[in-house]
Amino acid sequence: MKPAALVLSVAAACSGGSNGTPDAWVCPDICPDSDQQYVVDSNQLPSSAEEATRLALDIDGDGARENLLGALFAMSQDPRVDFPGSVQRGVARGETLTLLELRATGLTTAPDAGLAIYLGDDPVPVPCTSPADERTCGQHLDGNGSFDLALDSPLDQLLAGDLVGGALRAGPGRAEIRLWLGAGAPIPIRLIGARFEAQVNATSGTLTNGTIGGAIMSDEFDDVLLPAIADYIRAAVDADCAAGNVPCCAPLTAGEAFLEMLDFDGDCVLDSTELASFGGPDLLDLDLLDDTGTFNPNIDGIDDSTSFAIGFTAVGATFTAP
């Protein structure tokens, strides 16, 4: 299977619609005919409560910044379980690729700039000259890489915004990002109420101090995200541990850490109930949808989504957008 990527290209003048999806994109009066393209060369999953707070975004527009899932990952940090390191290795290995296309009337100040989100594929050059040696990975992140769009790429995910003093802010809208945790396929994170912030550097052709965040709907969280994390945990325990052994696991391994965290009955096995406890209760912190399922924050008083945000930087890239 080819690696998947996240591509963001520019859109503008969108209004909110169902589940945070813009109803339409209308090109502004001065529609730009050129673009600036990037590939994300680093992703920052929060590794501490301070980082989770720093990367948080005001997703529901109430003036407060939220990042509940980021805080959960931060609380799960253990030297033996390096979620942030795994996510970054996924970027370097091309397991996840994030491409960005900025189309605006300027790179310092420009109203009616924004982002549309696609999935990408086929990086050139290949990410690793020797896949077994991670020191050779990241070849596609030198600022000159080229990419295709994936066949399953969405074409209608738009974030409208503006560029002021080099600071790009866009949203809300829909966005799909993908995280690789070190094994298996990348995990799709489908966000509603998605927002994007980054500093545009016109001289170096880079994006810095970037954050993308939004919220995961409750059914998506339960049906997609938690099962994917559970599969990762189960694979780590299967690789590092064995029921009946004393001790259960090889020392200083991820499996050992997960058993210490979740093996409540001490049998060296994680059953479905124990695996499900990784998420814990009360992980819904945002009211983004009304009773018709339309993106309409803070209307019915019922929390229906979980906030999440991740940091990034990006360098130059080339691809053909639709």
Strand partners, 310: 212
Looking at residue 147, its pLDDT comes to: 95
Indicate if the pLDDT at residue 12 is higher than 70: no
116/14 Cα distance (integer angstroms): 11
**DSSP letter (8 states) at residue 225:** I
- 275: pLDDT strictly greater than 50: yes
What pLDDT score was predicted for residue 81? 82
Task: Give Cα 95 to chain centroid, integer Å.
Answer: 13
pLDDT at 111: 83
Q: Position 100: which residue type? A: L
Q: What is the pTM of this model?
A: 0.84
**Measured on CA atoms in the order 51, 54, 59, 62, is the torsion positive or negative?**
positive
Q: Which helix (H) or strand (E) element contains residue 34?
A: none
pLDDT tens digits along 173-231 = 888 888 998 777 888 899 999 999 999 998 999 999 999 999 999 888 888 888 888 88
User: DSSP secondary structure string, 140-157?
Assistant: GGSS-EEEEE-TT--S-E
As a whole number of Å, the end-to-end CA separation of the chain is: 23
Range name among 20-34, 95-109, 174-188, 289-303 with the lowest pLDDT average: 20-34
Distance CA 21, CA 101 (A): 19
Domain range summary for the chain, segments of one domain joined by +: 4-212+308-319
Q: Which two structure tokens, joined as six digits, stand for 22?
A: 């813009």
144 residue type, one letter:
N
Cα dihedral 67, 118, 42, 192, rounded to 10, equals 0
pLDDT digits (tens, 9 = 90+) for 67-121: 999 988 887 777 788 888 889 999 999 999 888 888 788 888 888 887 777 778 9
Mean pLDDT for the stretch of residues 251-258: 90
Query: How large is the angle between the packed helices 226-240 and 254-262, nearest 10 degrees?
Result: 120
